[in-house]
Amino acid sequence: MKNILIILFLFVLIIHAKTEVIDAPRINLEGKITDRSGEAVIGASIYIPELKTGGLTNNQGKFRIDNLPVRKIQIQISSVGYQLIVDNIDLSTTNVKDYILEESVTEIKEVAITGQAMKSELSKIPSPISIVTTAKLQQQASSNIIDALSTEPGVSQITTGSGISKPVIRGLGYNRVVVVNDGVRQEGQQWGDEHGIEIDENEVNRVEILKGPASLMYGSDAMAGVINFFTAPILPEGKMRLNALANYQTNNGLMAYSIDFAGHKNIMVWDLRYSEKQAHAYQDRTDGYVYNSGFSENALTGLLGISNWWGYSHLSLSYYHLTPGIVEGNRDSLTGKFLKPVILSDGTAGEALASKSDFTSYSHQMPYQQVSHYKVAWNNNILLGDGSLKATLGYQQNRRQEFDNVLDPNQYGLYFQLHTVNYDVHYQLPEIKGYNLSVGVNGMYQNSLNKGIEFLVPEYRLFDIGAFVVAKKTIGKLDISGGLRID
């Protein structure tokens, strides 16, 4: 009953907020972007985070973004090889502005949002944050998204095979690290070694890793930090894009591809992606091929929503399926070679030496898991005066089955089913005399079920709710931030 009332309250609040702003005035923003020599910068990106929209410069370096609210907004201007520009503009007094980009190999004013109730420049956040871009992710020879992040300072992983990796921040992992995707904290069975993160790495455009406590925004589970995954920004109005990419790795014969179709027409936005991946056993210098370390993965994600001058309302749906082998490492005592479970001639279960074809097969071996993760996330940001109301509602269902009986390969032993409802509502007040203030409430409801014939952990229900207030003040070169939370 409690979670139903919260959902109804959230829905009424969003509809009321949209009604309040429907008659507000609108304006256009235009300008020209050049480099230090005065040459036009073609294809530079102008992005407005609060609206998740923006535009690109034309052949003359000019841009124009229509249908904007008459209020203070923040824009980010970027182009390859130039420093990122972050600027706050009051559209009630300015709607034409030019910019000069400085050449640079690094971006020193990157904006970070993770663990913060308001946007902040990276240099003004007290906790250390790593920002990983798409280009950096694609340069990593990894088999999953957490594997790619494990090269970042202070970040490592716990892995039990190519398809299963868990993040560890400064020695803490499992339920001490919160993973956020589509604005919703990812909830599977992250307490266990054999349980990875159910996210399609191809939909990730940017990652922010907060290496320090973030309990003000995310509750006690974020005592080690937060890993926040962001999808690609919404395309400029009138644009459509079809993308395809493929990946092959020699070590484990990994073959992967992903196809994405996105667009923005009038106020409607959409983004649809399908990804597939498979790999046989990996090999290392000590063991050679490691039996049953292969996996297969496929994912379908979609976004449909509205982006307009008053903000945005986006509905995201995703389905993720992973079939990883479970590496047990059983070996023959005489030869040291890997053993595999088999059915003996007398009809009983036994073991035999794994063959070369077992190592290079893309079919799953015994034992293995079937993991399915379904998620629906509704993200809203509504501009109210010079403040903004953000509301997120999510539902996830995680299904995890483990098969280890060679005599009955279709009979699962463990079967966990986890249902989770997440909610988050917070309001960022307009800046008052240099003070930034945000207030909000968030939490989740969970119901965990055991549907297998073996029992590892008990079933449970969980409901939590937390209210918080976060404040930030800049005095010269000194940045002060803090807050209070009650759960």
Q: Tell me if 162 sits within 8 A of 294, measured CB to CB.
A: yes
Going by pLDDT thresholds of 50, 70 and 90, the confidence category of residue 142 is confident
Q: How far apart are the first and last CA of the chain?
A: 19
Mean pLDDT for 26-52 is 87
pLDDT, mean over the chain: 85
User: Rounded distance, CA 29 to CA 47, Å?
Assistant: 12
- Let me know how many helices (H) and strands (E) the chain has, helices first: 5, 31
Q: Tell me if 14 sits within 8 A of 7, measured CB to CB.
A: no
Q: Which residue from 120, 54, 80, 77 is spatially nearest to 307, judged by alpha carbons?
A: 54
Mean pLDDT for 389-413 is 92
Q: Which of 99-108, 171-180, 446-455 has the highest mean pLDDT?
A: 446-455
User: Rounded distance, CA 349 to CA 46, Å?
Assistant: 63
pTM of the predicted protein model: 0.85
Residue 64 to residues 29, 53, 236, 434, Cα–Cα distance (Å): 6, 12, 11, 30
- How confident is the model at residue 469, as a pLDDT? 92
Residue 364 has pLDDT above 60, yes or no: yes
> 86 forms bridges with which residues in the sheet?
76
User: Rounded distance, CA 5 to CA 11, Å?
Assistant: 10
- How confident is the model at residue 244, as a pLDDT? 95
User: Rounded distance, CA 51 to CA 209, Å?
Assistant: 23
User: Rounded distance, CA 272 to CA 300, Å?
Assistant: 8
Give the model confidence (pLDDT) of 279-314 as tens digits. Answer: 999 998 888 899 998 999 999 999 999 988 888 999
Residue 336 has pLDDT above 70, yes or no: yes
Residue type present at position 443: G
Residue spans of alpha helices (H) in 219-300: none
Going by pLDDT thresholds of 50, 70 and 90, the confidence category of residue 329 is confident
- How confident is the model at residue 33, as a pLDDT? 92
> Is the pLDDT higher at 455 or at 240?
240
Going by pLDDT thresholds of 50, 70 and 90, the confidence category of residue 201 is confident
- E strands present in 182-267: 184-185, 206-210, 225-230, 240-249, 254-265
Residue 114 has pLDDT above 60, yes or no: no
Structure tokens at 198: 């159910």
Number of neighbours of residue 265 by Cβ within 10 angstroms: 12
> Is the pLDDT higher at 81 or at 445?
445
User: Rounded distance, CA 209 to CA 431, Å?
Assistant: 26
User: Rounded distance, CA 16 to CA 287, Å?
Assistant: 62
Give the model confidence (pLDDT) of 411-433 as tens digits. Answer: 898 999 999 999 999 998 888 87
Q: Which residue from 192, 189, 221 is spatially nearest to 398, judged by alpha carbons?
A: 189
Mean pLDDT for 364-375 is 92
DSSP helix/strand/coil, 173: coil
Residue that has been written with the tokens 């249902």 in this structure: 419
Q: Which residue from 257, 251, 322, 256 is spatially nearest to 280, judged by alpha carbons?
A: 251
Going by pLDDT thresholds of 50, 70 and 90, the confidence category of residue 218 is confident
